[in-house]
Amino acid sequence: MAPQTVTVTAPGHHGFVRRYIFSTDHKIIGIQYIVTGLVMALLGAALAALIRLQLGWPDRTWPWLETLLPEGFRSGVMAPEFYLAVVTMHGTIMVFFFISFVLVSGFGNYLVPLHVGARDMAFPFLNMLSYWIALLSALVLILSFFVTGGAAAAGWTAYPPLSAIASAVPGSQMGQSIWLLSMALFIASFTMSGLNIVATVLSVRAPGMSMMRMPLTVWTYFVASILGLLAFPPLTAAAVMLLFDRHLGTSFFLPSGLIVANKLVPATGGSPLLWQHLFWFLGHPEVYVLLLPALGVASDIMPAFTRKPIFGYRMSVYCLMAVGALSMIVWGHHMFVSGMSPFSGEYFSLVTLTITVPMTIFGVNMLASLWGARLQLASPMLFVCGVIALFGSGGLGGLFLGNATADMQLHDTYFVVGHFHMMIGGVTLLATFAAIYFWFPKMFGRMMNETLAKAHFWLTFAPFFTIFFMQHFLGLQGAPRRYYAFTAFDYLQKTRGQNLVISLAAFLLVSAQFLFIINFVWSLAKGRVAEANPWRATTLEWTVPSPPPHGNFESVPTVERWAYEYGVPVAGGDFAVQTVPGDEAPVTA
Amino acid sequence: MAADGIRVAIRATVIRRLEGSLVAALFAGTAIVGALYGARAWLPTLASRHGAGIDSMLNYLLVTVGALFVTGYLALAYFIWRGSRRDAIGPRFAGRRTEILLSAALGVGMAIVAEGGVIAIGMPVWAEYFDAAPPADATVVEVTAQQFMWNVRYPGPDGVFGRTDPRRVDDTANPLGMDRSDPAGKDDIVTLNEITVPFGPAVHILLHSKDVIHSFFLPNFRVKQDAVPGMTPEVVFFPTRTGTFEIACAELCGLAHYRMRGTFNVVSQKEFTEWLRKQ
Amino acid sequence: MNAHEAPAAAVSLREDQVTLGLWMFLGTVTMLFAAFTSAYVVRRSGSDWRHVALPSILWLNSAILAASSLALEAARLNGDRRRWRGAIAAVLIAFALGLGFLAGQVTAWRQMAAAGVYLPTSPHSAFFFMMTGAHAVHVVAALVVLAWGAVATVQGAREPRTWASRMTLCRTFWHYLGLVWLMLFALVSLY
């Protein structure tokens, strides 16, 4: 294939709006996603604080919150319907509008073209469109707080009939429809973005960039995007069907003889489990869509601070493929006690636990990458250590939940909450911070403050681990999730102290994020000016100025080696960037 | 000037080692505190026969997973501590053989821990719980969940439940929609939020839901089953002790989900007969 | 360089990229209809399943869609032999038949409504309206692509390479939707 002709336009050429607002430049779009996602994260964190406020002090009143949120805190007490809306929106926002935006779409957009040596994504216009649709979906979601009945309150899993019948819970009035609309927009945008990433990896890699020379980051985005493309359409179908059930009188998910609020619902013969199958067919791959990029980003940050290649690159790539394939056929492990046939339960249990094999190999490869390292614990590396730790504890928790027999006791308890927060909450959160501290100099041309960043790590990891580790044991005690309070049950009385500790840790965690915000904003304006390659790293983005110009590379780079050429004897250093020819430094792969 | 340079370098080394030790201590401390915190009897008092199997599954996992957790975190801590005192990297590669062997060993090891646990401990419990036909002498109870209560019905002396029809349901007068003309229903016993069973025979529960999905959760009996409208899942289990236990709802069902509470009494056969008579 | 130039869209799309993009898009559409189909199969076992009578015009619509695919093939054969007038005529016929298919589908829906069969009438009718509706939406999108191919055919004599690549895309998309229709039609009438 002949490289296409490219005109690199001079900066400041098309005016502010074209360059920074309606830009087709993948770097600007990536930053737009990241900033939007961080703003949504603030909202998500505020909602988490409200949840912990309620669970930590279930019998206190908060008159000052009533002035702030008159609907949610009537006479100073959090209303149960508001609590459920907060839980639902916290989950939705964090999964789809924080981690998906910042880590998957944001860093995916920013890094993939740079990493494969392309000037832009394969379809730049589609890319811009995907961001604006994503932003619209976020705004639509926020809007749902202000409609009659409040935001959706059936959980992020939106199980019908609760989510289908307006009188079942206040959030199922208008809020649920808006939630579904927002999801449909999000899916449209995410599909465009995923399609773009796959096409970019397949079609615009620089000469010499064979698949097995790609950094793991690119591999993870590639696998995650394919999963997204395959798994999201069924959720679209399910969302359409649920909307029809809600507004057009069909009964896809509604069985006969339902009596809600003392009224017979006219629906007949539908199947609530059908929704669960369709939802989890998306839902399970979706967690890998979030998790894999976190692992890829962490793997690629590591060697810059260990000064040696990552361990077992090839094996890690194969593991990614295996995990991707397996993740499509294990959705039923979310439904062990749903009334699904016990025989399917055994099947899903066995297949689910197969995933531990590639994931263990991948995780231990990350750990083994520290073996023999000359370690520099700069802030991105600190967060990567946190990623490895949380991936270990989160993954091990999965052994309980993938096991149908153990899941009978643990299903829908706080064990599940602790587990998935470790994985798609913690691994992704810490990887996101690692990525921001690592690539901030490339994005904005300035370094972030190292002292604040290190303080941020300590004050994030410690409370985060405390919260979600303790929640596993709440689950073992039988504390169900999505409870507004644990006061009504005798057997849960002894969890009060634990919930108080968890809430205190949660407030510490949320407060610590201000260190990050201050650092981010301050560094944008006043940070030390960054060189082109401040971390002495090897991937292609470090060969261009910080920030890279529109079009990234002056001429399409030729790739001579893999992305992990560290610890090699080179004049004036110990590493070779991917473009360094073979006669200047030995080539490993 | 040269002395200054050396001083800066020494300072950097000291700080690097100190930071390494601190971070290593963080992870090592996490492992130890975590293991101490976890090594306690967390599960609610056991009160069912198959529950013993579930508990051995859970305990097996707590021990193996706990050991893996501590090992992993200590390894992480060691690598961090060691790495921050190195001035040059060790060998670049472990060698292809080592990589493949390590992967294979890990793969097989994890397969044995995870799948082995399911096959050896989990499946038999699962099979015992689901596959066994309910014994003829089981106490049959129908539980109909609704926002936010548990309607309980016993078939009465004839052992047959009367007909119900959703069209007859009235939440105050006839919450189950029972057909009063059906003779089989005449002797049915209906209670609210309270199940009483005799100690000895199995308990056979027929689960319904009137509105949304609920989940019938007996923490002490290790029983959890979603009550899905339109379906009638059945649960069979053997209580192993008498006493009063709690029923919780474990699937988000609406505003008062958190206080959808019932009690489950296991009483002696004599007390049960007495109780039946009073109803 | 002056300000009138297109902003950095200067990176023009290559043929193989567009083809790749289309195939991936068709992959997601396949997953969408696979989800509808599996939901249909699951829901089919419901106690209240009742087949509604499907209007016979659907047979005609199927024939129209098949004819449209054939016309598109004729357009390609003509173009390959550089018979541009024939190609233009054929592609316009294909487009017109595509519109005819849509009109036929709308007629089918109206006939069903007139017979008292609506979306909530039975699960079968619900699936029928939903799936044929989803298919029709994709047909509308494909007609836009087909129009783009028709423009290329009109200019085919000048730019035969552009014509050839666009025609491949149009044919892929159009035949694919024809295939989806056949499967949907078979599903709703036979199972």
Query: Which residues from A are below 8 Å from B103, CB to CB?
Result: 312, 315, 361, 365
Nearest to A302 by CA among A385, A360, A426: A385
- Confidence at A35, pLDDT banded by 50, 70, 90: very high
Q: Is A336 near chain B, with CB under 8 Å?
A: no
Q: How close does chain A come to B138, measured CA to CA in Å? A: 21
Q: Does position B71 have pLDDT exceeding 80, yes or no?
A: yes
What tokens appear for C3 in the block?
């300000």
Mean pLDDT of chain B: 94
Mean pLDDT of chain A: 94
Smallest Cβ–Cβ distance between A199 and the set C20, C43, C46 belongs to C20
A349 to chain B: nearest residue by CA?
A: B118
Mean pLDDT to the nearest integer, B146-168: 93
**Inter-helix orientation angle C15-44/A174-203, to 10°:** 140
Q: Tell me how far the alpha carbon of residue A307 is from its chain's centroid.
A: 28
Query: Which residues from A are below 8 Å from B25, CB to CB?
Result: none
CA dist., res. B90 & res. B67, Å (int): 28
pTM of the model: 0.94
- Confidence at B1, pLDDT banded by 50, 70, 90: low
Q: What is the pLDDT of residues A458-493, one digit of tens each?
A: 999 999 999 999 999 999 999 999 999 999 999 999
A200 to chain C: nearest residue by CA?
A: C17
pLDDT score, position A13: 52
Contact assignment for A255 to B229 by CB distance below 8 Å = yes
Strands B262-267 and B243-249: antiparallel
Q: How close does chain B come to A120, measured CA to CA in Å? A: 34
Q: How close does chain A come to C74, measured CA to CA in Å? A: 30
The two most distant CA atoms of chain C are separated, in Å, by 70
The amino acid at residue A385 is: C
Within chain A, how many helices (H) and strands (E) appear? 18, 4
Which of C30, C31, C38, C131 is the best substitution to test chain A (most A C-beta atoms within 10 A)?
C31
Query: Which residues from B are below 8 Å from A469, CB to CB?
Result: 34, 37
Smallest Cβ–Cβ distance between C119 and the set A199, A249, A551 belongs to A249
Nearest to A255 by CA among B232, B252, B76: B232
pLDDT score, position C159: 85
**Inter-helix orientation angle C160-190/C123-154, to 10°:** 170
Smallest Cβ–Cβ distance between A480 and the set B83, B106, B250 belongs to B250
Which of C1, C2, C12, C28 is the best substitution to test chain A (most A C-beta atoms within 10 A)?
C28
Residue A249 Cα distances to A76, A268, C123, angstroms: 39, 10, 11
DSSP code for B122: I
CA dist., res. C19 & res. C189, Å (int): 33
Q: Is A305 near chain C, with CB under 8 Å?
A: no
pLDDT score, position A10: 44
- Confidence at C173, pLDDT banded by 50, 70, 90: very high
Q: What is the pLDDT of residues A344-355, one digit of tens each?
A: 999 999 999 999
Q: What is the pLDDT of residues A521-536, one digit of tens each?
A: 999 999 999 999 999 9
Mean pLDDT to the nearest integer, A261-280: 92
Q: Does position C10 have pLDDT exceeding 70, yes or no?
A: no
pLDDT score, position A2: 36
Q: Does position B154 have pLDDT exceeding 70, yes or no?
A: yes
Q: Does position A152 have pLDDT exceeding 60, yes or no?
A: yes
DSSP code for A103: I
Q: How close does chain B come to A99, measured CA to CA in Å? A: 25
- Confidence at A1, pLDDT banded by 50, 70, 90: very low
ipTM of model: 0.96
Q: Is A248 near chain B, with CB under 8 Å?
A: no
Q: Does position A6 have pLDDT exceeding 70, yes or no?
A: no
Residues of chain B with pLDDT > 70: what percent? 100
Query: Which residues from A are below 8 Å from B102, CB to CB?
Result: 312, 364, 368
- Confidence at A455, pLDDT banded by 50, 70, 90: very high
Contact assignment for A375 to B146 by CB distance below 8 Å = no
C39 to chain A: nearest residue by CA?
A: A274
Which of A87, A274, A341, A403 is the best substitution to test chain B (most B C-beta atoms within 10 A)?
A403
Among B121-125, B128-132, B150-154, the least confident range = B128-132
What tokens appear for C22 in the block?
């289309």
Return the H-helix or E-strand segment holding B194. Answer: strand B194-198
pLDDT score, position C3: 37
Q: Does position C142 have pLDDT exceeding 90, yes or no?
A: yes
A274 contacts C42 by C-beta, under 8 angstroms: yes
> How many residues would you count in chain B?
279
Contacts of range A132-136, beta carbons closer than 8 Å, 24 or more positions apart: A133/A185, A133/A188, A133/A189, A133/A192, A134/A33, A134/A36, A134/A101, A134/A105, A134/A185, A134/A186, A134/A189, A134/A190, A134/A193, A135/A32, A135/A36, A136/A185
pLDDT score, position A3: 38
What tokens appear for C55 in the block?
């209007």
- Confidence at A7, pLDDT banded by 50, 70, 90: very low
Q: What is the pLDDT of residues C92-141, one digit of tens each?
A: 999 999 999 999 999 999 999 999 999 999 999 999 999 999 999 999 99
Mean pLDDT of chain C: 91
A342 to chain B: nearest residue by CA?
A: B130
CA dist., res. A520 & res. A539, Å (int): 24
**Inter-helix orientation angle A313-327/A272-306, to 10°:** 170
Q: What is the pLDDT of residues A524-575, one digit of tens each?
A: 999 999 999 999 999 999 999 999 998 999 999 999 999 999 999 888 889 9
The amino acid at residue A10 is: A
Contact assignment for C119 to A244 by CB distance below 8 Å = yes
pLDDT score, position A30: 97
Q: What CA dihedral angle connects A420, A425, A428 and A430, to 10 degrees?
A: -130
> C touches which chains (3+ CB pairs under 8 A)?
A
Q: What is the pLDDT of residues A197-224, one digit of tens each?
A: 999 999 999 999 999 999 999 999 999 9
Contact assignment for C9 to A6 by CB distance below 8 Å = no
pLDDT score, position C42: 92
Mean pLDDT to the nearest integer, B246-254: 97
Phi and psi, residue A540, nearest 5°: -65, -30
Contact assignment for A270 to C46 by CB distance below 8 Å = yes
Q: Is A392 near chain C, with CB under 8 Å?
A: no
A33 contacts A101 by C-beta, under 8 angstroms: yes
Which A residues in the span 434-463 are in contact with B, Cβ-Cβ below 8 Å? Answer: 458, 461-462
Q: Say whether B205 sits in a helix, a strand or coil.
A: strand
Contact assignment for A271 to C8 by CB distance below 8 Å = no
